[in-house]
Amino acid sequence: MPLPPEPVLRAAVRWLERLPAIGQRRCRVLFTTHPDFSDLTPTQYDAAYGWLSEAGLLEDAQTPGSIAERVFEATLKSLPWFQDADVLVQSPGELPDDALRASEVIGLSTSEAFRQLHALWGKVDLAQRARIGAAGERALVELLRKSTNAHVEHVSQHSDAYGYDIDVRTDDNTCLHLEIKASLRRHRLVLFLSRHEYETMLNDQAWQLVAVRLTADFKAEAVCSIPTSWIKGNAPHDHGLSGRWDSCRLTIPSDQVQSGIPRLLPLLNGHASPMLDGSTDW
């Protein structure tokens, strides 16, 4: 959904301000006949109504709260840099021009726009990470079951208490405990590790962190492993009894990415996916 022109954003705010009270037909008459609204054209009002519909804002037009913030949220989601906002925009002064223009038209200050951006990014990112993570686990389970004769159990479907997602086990009890992280990004690998997952890693020799890169339709296209030694050296440390970290974000450098799952190699069968044996580069 492209970023609407500034007149269309102004018209969108006017629609949401008046729709709950007088409805669509009376709004349209008001906008096209009253001189107070003649600074915008009927075409711009129509375009704004269409954009509000596409953004889902007409469905909750009765929702209490700031109209400006709701319109700004919908605007932000259409911006191509939004998915990387956590890295690109660290302060109000780093807001890109398109976000600044939109916030000015809508009536938000720079500081309000910055707060809104990061609140929305956090909410969207959390939901997106959950969807991508679940898809990555399913995709890897499918690859493993086709590529090894070992027993593959998707243990995180039963409980989060294990500290890993997939158990791979042979009849002689050789095992790997795989913690799976998934991403849609090609050139930036950022993973979130919980304290429980980290402590499981410290006490479980079979634990391995694995990343799965997915296509836009959630199909696996590459698999890599991250060395435990690197995680130990880069995870946070508690500095006193009164503070404790519960989750951390790790940006994995390219030289620490190992294509495939090297520890799985002895268990692969003749039909193994090249994504698992390291033949496919990350």
- Please indicate, yes or no, whether residues 156 and 259 belong to a single structural domain of this protein: yes
11 and 65 fall within a common domain: yes
Residues 102 and 156 in one domain: no
Question: H helices of 148-213, where?
Answer: 195-203
Of the candidate ranges 115-129, 142-156, 208-222, the one whose mean pLDDT is the lowest:
115-129
Both 36 and 153 in one domain: the answer is no
pLDDT at 1: 58
Of the residues 75, 108, 141, which one is the last residue of a structural domain? Answer: 108
Residue where a domain stops, chosen among 108, 142, 164: 108
Question: What average pLDDT does range 48-56 have in this prediction?
Answer: 93
Same domain, 94 and 189: no
* Spatial separation of the C-alpha atoms in residues 254 and 132, rounded to whole Å: 21
Q: For the chain, how many structural domains are there in total?
A: 2
- Mean pLDDT, the chain, rounded, equals 93
- In a domain, residue 1? The reply is no
Query: pTM of this prediction?
Result: 0.72
Query: Which ranges constitute the DSSP H helices of 94-250?
Result: 97-106, 110-147, 195-203, 228-234
Confidence band of 185 (pLDDT split at 50, 70, 90)? confident
With the C-alpha atoms ordered 267, 270, 271, 276, is the resulting torsion angle positive or negative?
A: positive
CATH number for position 147: 3.40.1350
Asked if 127 and 83 count as a contact pair (C-beta separation under 8 A), the reply is no
- Res 241: pLDDT: 85
Summarize pLDDT for 202-227 with one digit per residue, the tens: 999 999 999 999 999 999 999 999 99
Residues 61 and 156 in one domain: no
Residue 138 sits in the same domain as residue 270: yes
Q: Are residues 166 and 102 in the same domain?
A: no
Q: What mean pLDDT do residues 83-112 have?
A: 92
Mean pLDDT across 140-161: 95
Host domain of residue 191: 131-277
The whole-number pLDDT of residue 87 equals: 80
